[in-house]
Amino acid sequence: MHDAAFRDYFEQHHDSMSRLAYLMTGEADGADDLAADALTEVWRHWDRVMAADDPAAYGHGIVMNLARNRVRRRSRERLWSLEPIRKALDPDVSAVVDVRSALKRLPHRRRACVVLRYAFDLPEKEVATALGISVGAVKSATSRGARQLAELLGGSSVALARLNGWEAAR
């Protein structure tokens, strides 16, 4: 029974967990690995997952934590490997910014709220459950994140429309 229930959970949520991991890290190659790691944690804590008010949100919360840790680790690695290049560059050099790189520049909570609200079209209450924060915090972080994302993209009003299209494209 436990195996069949987990298999159903896996089939229902693996794709969305992988998409979420991709949008949070910007790494297509690592998205499935993060989803698999999250599903391993779901399996390890199956009783807690099934006791949760929203088992899907519980799994998405695991993905968010794993993605945050991965981004932090990768950022530290990049800083160390790019330090000589970074020092040599003129700080006024502008780069072409796309949605993925703009998302990476948002603080984790804002990025998480924007991705879950716009790319996954989750209601604020489900985002709050997945992230373990209040609905008010979701509203605030989503608003600020959307505004910051638009600014990073040069005031582009199509930024969130692009983000909405990623969920289906991934």
pLDDT digits (tens, 9 = 90+) for 23-42: 888 888 889 999 999 999 99
Over residues 40-75, the pLDDT tens digits come to: 999 999 999 999 989 999 999 999 989 888 877 765
Backbone angles phi, psi at 85, to 5 degrees: -70, -45
* Average pLDDT over every residue of 127-145: 92
Over residues 89-115, mean pLDDT: 69
pLDDT on residue 156: 53
Q: Residue type for 27, please? A: E
CA distance linking residue 118 with residue 4, whole number of Å:
32
pLDDT at 95: 33
| pLDDT beyond 60 at 16 | yes
Average pLDDT over residues 138-156: 85
Window from 14-18, 50-54, 82-86 with minimum mean pLDDT: 82-86
Q: For residue 104, what pLDDT is reported? A: 85
- Going along the chain from its start, the domains and CATH numbers come out as 2-169 (1.20.140.160)
Look at residue 103 in the predicted model and tell me its pLDDT.
84
Let me know how many helices (H) and strands (E) the chain has, helices first.
9, 0
Residue 18 C-beta-side C-alpha neighbours within 13 Å: 15
- The three-class DSSP label of residue 48 is helix
State residue 168's pLDDT score: 40
Question: 39 near 78, Cβ under 8 Å?
Answer: no
More confident residue, 133 or 79: 133
One-letter amino acid for residue 125 of the chain: K
Q: What is the mean pLDDT of residues 16-28?
A: 89
